[in-house]
Amino acid sequence: MVKLTQEIKDTITMGTVYFFATSSKGGAPNVVPIKALKVMDDETILVSDQYFGKTLKNLEENPKVAIAYWTDKGGYQIKGTAALHRGDKVFEDDVAWVHSFSPKLNPKTAVVIKVSDVFIVKGGPDAGKKIL
């Protein structure tokens, strides 16, 4: 796995909407906008599931995921492998975190992503360049 740089972690915290991509076992793609995302550590990102339908089904069939986002300071595409957590400490921490900013939301699954690759998302000569 790769380690996220401080710059990448900073831009993640600045993001307001992230695009979360999954695919079925057969390769049918699905992308959804999400807001409940945070860095857990240098190698791990948490996505909190409140509304996943096709996304959750895809995650159960195929753990490979991608996240893309853009901020004023730049943007990245992050790829990795997801693990689903329900009814454990990771899930309990996810629920507490989500309730700290939106008590009405009810997380169903904590999606923990181990980062494997990071690419630049911006125009110019480095567009799409793998950096981690």
Interval 8-54: pLDDT, tens: 999 999 999 999 999 999 999 999 999 999 999 999 999 999 999 99
What is the SS3 assignment for 66? strand
- Residue 53 domain boundaries: 6-130
Reduced DSSP (H G I as helix, E B as strand, rest coil) percent helix, strand, coil of the chain, to 5: 25, 40, 35
* Confidence category of residue 1, pLDDT binned at 50, 70, 90: confident
What's residue 124's pLDDT?
A: 86
Whether 110 is covered by a domain: the verdict is yes
Tell me the pLDDT tens digit for each residue of 67-107: 999 998 889 999 999 999 999 999 999 999 999 999 999 99
Whether 1 is covered by a domain: the verdict is no
What's residue 74's pLDDT?
A: 85
How is residue 3 annotated by DSSP? Answer: -
Domain count for the chain, please give it.
1
What's residue 59's pLDDT?
A: 98
> What are residue 41's phi and psi, to 5 degrees?
-160, -170
Range name among 4-13, 56-65, 122-131 with the lowest pLDDT average: 122-131
Question: Which residues 6+ apart lie within 8 Å of 27 measured at CB?
Answer: none
Whether 79 is covered by a domain: the verdict is yes
Residue 46: which CATH number?
2.30.110.10
